[in-house]
């Protein structure tokens, strides 16, 4: 029973005062103490309840994220469920990024990774791209909440051409928003968003890129095709999601991404505890979903140090 309903029952005389006090505690307030015990096992150090907002703070970096009520896949909630959020990949990224790096976050969502980067590397510059208006508004709020000044947020996505796309949005999973209806649901919200080309953005802003994080729910290949000149010139380290089922919605296979980077002199890896393990071909038996691409020559020393 919702907490307001319990209170209304008391106001309407359907619950006595003693029964109301007991019901409010047993059915609602007692869970606060359950969380105080549960949090100790997770990378969430606190949950702050304020007017119309729930704010979760990470234990390791002190990253604060405002959590939308309906979104049960947002990073801090995932950290509650699974004790942390992608810790192996996150730790590897922090080892690979230099202290003053220029970082591109493609598909920034509500800012979990961008803000982690900003707090870990205060001398770095992060440009975070998020096309969905509602999600972008949370990204801006979270940047302000964390008082980080080294993130620039852009309200558009990245692809291989400049255009307007229809995105499919599921309220309970903003991170699954995509230019294809991935789950083939009839209740997806359709949102028109702009996508740009990273090469054009980099050229117009006179940028040099050191690290790219890309998670765009199946459209990763197109984001990289639009960044080819930048990748060839700057040879940034790449972290990206590659999923067969999402790529299939866009009529390609993740192996095309591997071939694309291989043609540019890159090797593919995935994080295996504190090391990198080289990866060559994705098959139906592949379980890994997040991958790193390092340039064979530019990152030779890193590969030597981290290869298992």
User: How many Cα atoms sit within 13 Å of 181 on the Cβ side?
Assistant: 8
| pLDDT (0 to 100) of residue 12 | 94
> By three-state DSSP, how is residue 43 classified?
coil
Q: What whole-number distance in Å separates Cα of residue 87 and Cα of residue 171?
A: 25
What is the mean pLDDT for each group of 10 consecutive residues in the chain (308 residues)?
Answer: 92 94 94 96 97 97 95 94 96 97 97 98 98 95 98 98 93 79 85 97 98 95 98 98 95 98 98 96 97 98 93
| pLDDT (0 to 100) of residue 291 | 98
Backbone angles phi, psi at 212, to 5 degrees: -125, 125
118-175 residue pLDDT tens: 999 999 999 999 999 999 999 999 999 999 999 999 999 999 999 999 999 987 777 7
| pLDDT (0 to 100) of residue 117 | 98
In Å, how far are 246, 248, 256, 287 from 252, measured between CA atoms?
Answer: 9, 5, 7, 18
* Domain 87-306 indexed as CATH 3.40.50.150: yes
| pLDDT (0 to 100) of residue 180 | 86
Q: Where do the structural domains in the chain lie, given as residue ranges?
A: 1-41, 87-306
| pLDDT (0 to 100) of residue 307 | 93
| pLDDT (0 to 100) of residue 202 | 98
Q: What whole-number distance in Å separates Cα of residue 187 and Cα of residue 267?
A: 40
**How is residue 239 written in tokens?**
């972290």
| pLDDT (0 to 100) of residue 186 | 85
Kindly report the pTM of this predicted structure: 0.94
Indicate the pairing of strand 237-241 with strand 290-295: antiparallel
In Å, how far are 51, 288, 294 from 33, measured between CA atoms?
Answer: 20, 36, 46
């Amino acid at each position: 029973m919702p907490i307001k309903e319990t209170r209304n029952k008391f106001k309407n005389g359907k619950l006595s005062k003693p029964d109301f006090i007991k019901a409010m505690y047993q059915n609602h307030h007692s869970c606060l103490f359950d969380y105080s015990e549960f949090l100790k096992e997770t990378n969430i150090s606190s949950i702050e309840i304020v007017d119309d907002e729930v704010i979760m703070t990470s234990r390791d970096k002190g990253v604060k994220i405002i959590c939308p009520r309906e979104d049960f896949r947002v990073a801090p909630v995932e950290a509650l469920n699974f004790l942390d959020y992608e810790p192996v990949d996150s730790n590897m990224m922090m080892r690979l990024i230099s202290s003053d790096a220029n970082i591109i976050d493609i598909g920034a969502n509500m800012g979990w990774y961008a803000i982690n980067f900003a707090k870990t590397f205060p001398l770095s510059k992060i440009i975070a791209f998020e096309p969905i208006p509602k999600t972008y508004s949370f990204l801006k709020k979270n940047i302000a909440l964390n008082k980080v000044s080294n993130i620039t947020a852009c309200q558009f996505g990245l692809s291989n051409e400049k255009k307007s796309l229809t995105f499919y949005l599921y309220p309970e999973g903003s991170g699954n928003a995509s230019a294809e209806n991935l789950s083939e649901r009839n209740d997806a919200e359709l949102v028109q968003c702009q996508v740009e080309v990273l090469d054009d953005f980099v050229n117009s802003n006179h940028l040099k890129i050191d690290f790219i994080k890309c998670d765009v729910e199946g459209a990763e290949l197109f984001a990289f095709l639009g960044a080819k000149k930048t990748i060839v010139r700057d040879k940034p380290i790449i972290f990206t999601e590659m999923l067969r089922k999402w790529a299939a919605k866009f009529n390609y296979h993740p192996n095309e991404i591997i071939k694309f980077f291989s043609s540019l002199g890159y090797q593919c890896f995935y994080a295996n505890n504190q090391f990198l393990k080289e990866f060559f071909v994705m098959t139906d038996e592949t379980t890994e979903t997040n991958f790193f691409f390092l340039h064979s020559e530019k990152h030779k020393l890193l590969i030597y140090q981290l290869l298992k």
